[in-house]
Chains A and B, each alone.
Chain A
Amino acid sequence: MNRVVMHLTVRGLFGRRRAVLLVILPVLLLLLAALTRWASGGDPTASAGLTGGFAMGTVVPLMCLLVGTGVIGPEIDDGSIVYLLAKPLPRRTILLSKLVVALAAALVFAVLPAMASAAIAGDQGMRLTMAFGVTAALAAITYTTIFVALSVVTRNAVIVGLLYALVWETLLGGYVPGVRDVSVRQWALAPAEQLLGTRAAEWGVTSVVSVTVGLALLAATTVAAAVLAVRRLQTLRLTTGD
């Protein structure tokens, strides 16, 4: 890790106009959670529906997309990354420093809102909140790493990531059986199902994969994405049109 890279990354992430977007979705989620509590009287099933559906399916992937592409994409786009790359610093260190900033931001803007959503909309002894905390944290780590890698691989990371998040994870991942097996959301829901035990089925928190498979696939995907990102940054082609 390099503190200077992290510091510049934080300034970049919050110094641009898109930082406003980081607040909008979480606020919307919390409003919906309050509305759900008011309508259902704090019923954990309704709460799990909102958090498992909207929070996990839309808010978490989109927030991870925002921070994941935000920590490195703009610098590659405008070429200012050259000031980091032209330093006697392993590119691995540069990428991992940026990834750590992205993960910290995802924790604040995706994981905590998801937990708050469960807590506000209705819970029994914080069990749902904790279960979704674990799920959201696991999903956020994998999503964010995927989106950081995507930003290094392609200049259209935001569009590709948006299609992936909305079409694959939100739309298909929610309904199409085959796709659900290869969905980060489903993998991350497995530990939550385990944690809730007998209440899981009652509250509708279920995953199509077992905990072991889910965790293994999450870890493998995260590591693969991180390795890909480092490799691509090491050979990143930097030319201005000439």
Chain B
Amino acid sequence: MSTLVLERVSRWYGNVVAVNDVTMTIGPGITGLLGPNGAGKSTLISMMGGFLEPSAGSATLDGIPVWRNPSIYRTIGLVPEAEAMYDMVTGWQFVVANARLHRLPDAEGAARMALETVEMMDAKDRDIGTYSKGMKQRVKMATALVHNPAVLLLDEPFNGMDPRQRLHLMDLLRRLAGQGRTVLFSSHILEEVEEIADTIEVLVAGRHAASGDYRGIRRLMTERPHQYTISSSDDRRLAAAIIADGAADSVDLSAGTLAVQAADFGRFVHALPRLARDTGVRLLEVSPADESLESVFAYLVAR
């Protein structure tokens, strides 16, 4: 069992701050690192994996700094986002080479086991250059698993996978976490993270915006104030009814349409049709003003 600890870690490139004062502890089980593109997820994973020096703060693995310390790779297995591998060797040769670089006593046995785990034994003797994206992803997994690491870091592992491969990888990650390993993966898709992660760490614009299990994160995301724009046969009358009912926090008629902000999403969507019917107002259009994941993230940061 191994634990990765980030202690007030920041990283900047010149004037640009990529990661800003992040503190988190990644323990056994599956942790999902969630955030929009450009949030600094890869920068954070690079620092966890010892490939980037934190500009401030420290990243440690079981108490030992990871920067400039290649011995951590006995414990860490890394699945990089970049697809490039050694195209001119076969999958088998590549995984065996990785096992030898780890100086494993039985390199071929370890390679066989890793390739069996990712179900790539059938295609192992083809050049990596001929593999599909999904097959490359699985060979990448095999190279990371070949030395049986306690910690597995995966940068956007689900990118470009078809649904079947996605399920297969989720299943594999669950099994690995079940064996007591520390598994961390990054993603910009909430549903992906929610499905398998025990713990979710949300990163937005380089800052650690939220942390918790998926229910907590989901609640944070649904309980934020929701905004709707409504057009109806009588906006003024509908606005009065909504405010009188208490279904929303504020109504705004100044922009020519009716803009509503509701803290309790569930209550508002149930109340609106009832209020419209009771007041005899015909609803022409109801649309959420901002439901993009980015705006959800932005809310979490501003919170």
Contacts and interface: CB of A to CB of B under 8 A. Distances in A.
11 contacts: A4-B100, A11-B88, A11-B89, A16-B88, A79-B82, A83-B86, A85-B70, A86-B51, A88-B102, A88-B103, A239-B42
B101 interface: yes
A242 B102 contact: no
B86 A88 contact: no
Contact of A87 (B41, B53, B94, B101): B101
Interface stretch (A54-62, A161-169, A208-216, A230-238): A230-238
Given A78-B82, A80-B82, 14 more contacts: A4-B100, A8-B97, A78-B84, A79-B82, A79-B84, A82-B51, A84-B101, A86-B73, A87-B98, A88-B72, A88-B73, A91-B70, A235-B68, A240-B80
Interface string A1-35: 01011011001100110000000000000000000
B51 A239 contact: yes
Nearest to A81: B84
A125 interface: no
A77 to B, nearest CB: 8
Interface in B24-74: 37-43, 46, 49, 51-53, 68, 70-74
B204 interface: no
Interface of B: 18, 37-43, 46, 49, 51-53, 68, 70-74, 76, 78, 80-82, 84-89, 94, 97-98, 100-103, 143, 155
Given A80-B85, A82-B80, A89-B101, A237 B70 contact: no
Given A11-B86, A80-B85, A240 B101 contact: no
Contacts of B39: 242
Interface in A149-174: none
Given A8-B89, A79-B82, A88-B70, A237 B51 contact: yes
A7 B51 contact: no
A170 B295 CA distance: 59
B191 to A, nearest CB: 21
Contact of B43 (A4, A15, A83, A239): A239
A177 interface: no
B78 A82 contact: yes
Rank and list the top 6 A-B pairs by shortest CB-CB distance, nearest first: A15-B88, A78-B84, A79-B82, A242-B42, A238-B51, A87-B101
A80 B43 CA distance: 17
A242 B19 CA distance: 12
Interface string A82-114: 111111111100000000000000000000000
Interface of A: 2, 4-5, 7-8, 11-12, 15-16, 78-80, 82-91, 234-242
A7 B97 contact: yes
Among the interface residues A5, A85, A242, which one has the most CB atoms of the partner chain B within 10 A? A242
A236 B70 CA distance: 13
Contacts of B101: 2, 4-5, 83-84, 87, 89
A15 B43 CA distance: 31
B49 A242 contact: no
Contacts of B49: 86
Contacts of B46: 238-239
A190 to B, nearest CB: 40
A216 B53 CA distance: 36
A242 B18 contact: yes
A89 B73 CA distance: 9
Contacts of B78: 82, 86
Contacts of A79: 80, 82, 84
A179 B280 CA distance: 92
Nearest to A79: B82
Contacts of B74: 88
B89 A240 contact: no
B70 A240 contact: no
Contacts of A241: 42
Contacts of A240: 42, 80-82, 155
Contacts of A80: 82, 84-86
Contact of A234 (B38, B68, B103): B68
